Amino acid sequence: MNTIRPAIIAFIFLIAVSCNDSAKKEAGPPRIQIKDTSLAQGETRRNPYSPIDVSPMDMSYYPVDYTKLKMTGSIKEAPVVRVIYSRPHLQGRELFHGLLNYNEPWRLGANESTEIQLFRDLTIQHKNVIQGRYILYCIPHESTWTIVFNKNIDTWGLKPDATQDAYRFEVPVKKTDNRIEYFTMVFEKAGAGANLLMAWDNVEARLHLTFQ
Amino acid sequence: MKKILGTSLFVIFLISGSYAQTDSIVFPEVDKSPMDMSYCPVNFPVLKISEKVTGSPFIRVIYGRPNKNGRAIFGDLVEYGKVWRLGANEATEIEFYKDVSVDSKKIKKGRYTLYAIPGKNDWTMILNKDTDIWGAFKYDSTNDVARVTVPVTIIDNPVETLSMTFDKFNTGFNLVIAWDTVEVKLPIVLK
């Protein structure tokens, strides 16, 4: 009996500590560091070659569904633009309560920096944007987001370095009635150009691209 | 008056039309076989952001990662002797950031599609110029830039999810591909 009681107390203490620890992790500010997304749990995690990410990677093209259009032979010319990004999910959290903070740069994804490749020069907000590859990041504010094209490609996470910024654009933010679980970047046709639509939780922002 | 009414109706139609369009955006589902990328040198983006390397990587692959899910893979789900996208969804993309050699053939830097024809004992690896394409349904051998046959190694611990990584040899890197009990290595010589 005498030995059991301290064991139980120690056990309860351990549980309390570990709960507290995980609560802290949930509530903390988004830290801009290298490994801030965990890997998938369970069987797939034990992969000696390349572990599976919790936030899966995805890519979007403009024209929309370019790769399928090309496969079916309904498009011949090169694509206009492609983004490659990872898709964090809410998992019960709210975007601006525990995930992102206003005025703090965000990699606009997870894991590797989000990449945008322009297959030709574009015009964005009256600026000529030279074709090539950039990383994208975002500084969210309550009613606008600053979308930054930066030249530090092939990187992980985000270490904002303004000296490598190529272009910055302010775009309005729209509140929606949706709750999008997975961060989503897609292109949509808009007039003679396209929008890069960024959506997560109940927030949407659009960066308009004009083709030359 | 009729004209004004007509115009305002038209405007209302336009506005409601554009709203309807906004509401009808169909967001893509999260892929069952998630996409992933592997760099050579391994973990290049982490090394770069932590300032252990500078400049450009040598190679990058982007591929969809299907799971075994209890199925028989090679010779069954992935048929022997047929061109395979080497992944899921979009065909696998390989990018060389500088000129390389594959099977003593000079390959110019740039993006290529990487296909495979799996066999029981060896695979034919295909580098093809036609990029940004879904599946292997429109594979066209006239766009090939290299074909090389590599041996299959049977591994003891089955790999649940298709995996790609790189390992070094004295003049270059192997692209290591593993799924289920099969492992193949594509040697890429750096110039």
pLDDT digits (tens, 9 = 90+) for A96-112: 887 899 999 999 999 99
Residues of A in contact with B28 (CB under 8 A): 58, 60, 184, 186
The neighbouring-strand residues paired with B35 are A57, B64
* Residue in B with minimal Cα distance to A89: B30
Beta strands in chain B (DSSP E): 35-40, 59-64, 93-96, 100-102, 105-107, 110-117, 122-128, 144-169, 172-190
CA separation, residue A94 to residues A35, A56, A182, B112 (Å): 21, 19, 12, 40
Q: Considering CB atoms only, which of B27, B44, B159 is closest to A154?
A: B44
Distance from CA of B156 to the nearest CA of A (A): 12
Query: For residues A212 and A169, what is the distance between their CA atoms, to the nearest angstrom?
Result: 18
Q: Considering CB atoms only, which of A49, A71, A186 is closest to B134?
A: A71
Query: For residues B94 and B86, what is the distance between their CA atoms, to the nearest angstrom?
Result: 11
Residue A7 falls inside a structural domain = no
Range of the domain at A60: 43-211
The burial class, CB within 10 Å (0-12 / 13-18 / 19+), for A68 is: middle
Whether the full predicted model's pTM is greater than 0.90, yes or no, is no
- Decide if A66 touches B, using CB distance below 8 A: yes
Measured in whole angstroms, how far is the alpha carbon of residue A44 from the centre of its chain? Answer: 23
pLDDT digits (tens, 9 = 90+) for A52-97: 888 899 999 999 999 999 999 999 999 999 999 999 999 888 898 8
Q: What is the pLDDT along chain A (212 residues), one digit of tens a residue?
A: 444 444 444 444 433 333 333 333 333 333 333 333 444 544 445 677 888 888 899 999 999 999 999 999 999 999 999 999 999 999 888 898 878 999 999 999 999 999 999 999 999 999 999 999 999 999 999 999 999 999 999 999 998 899 999 999 999 999 999 889 999 999 999 999 999 999 999 999 999 999 97
Question: Which residue ranges make up each domain of chain B?
Answer: 29-190
Residue B29 pLDDT level (bands cut at 50, 70, 90): confident
Long-range contacts of residues B156-159, Cβ cutoff 8 Å, at least 24 apart = B156/B181, B157/A48, B158/B68, B159/A47, B159/A48, B159/A49, B159/B68
Distance from CA of A92 to the nearest CA of B (A): 17
Task: Mark yes or no for CB contact B134/A157 under 8 Å.
Answer: no
| Number of domains within chain A | 1
Task: Mark yes or no for CB contact A60/B28 under 8 Å.
Answer: yes
- Decide if B156 touches A, using CB distance below 8 A: no
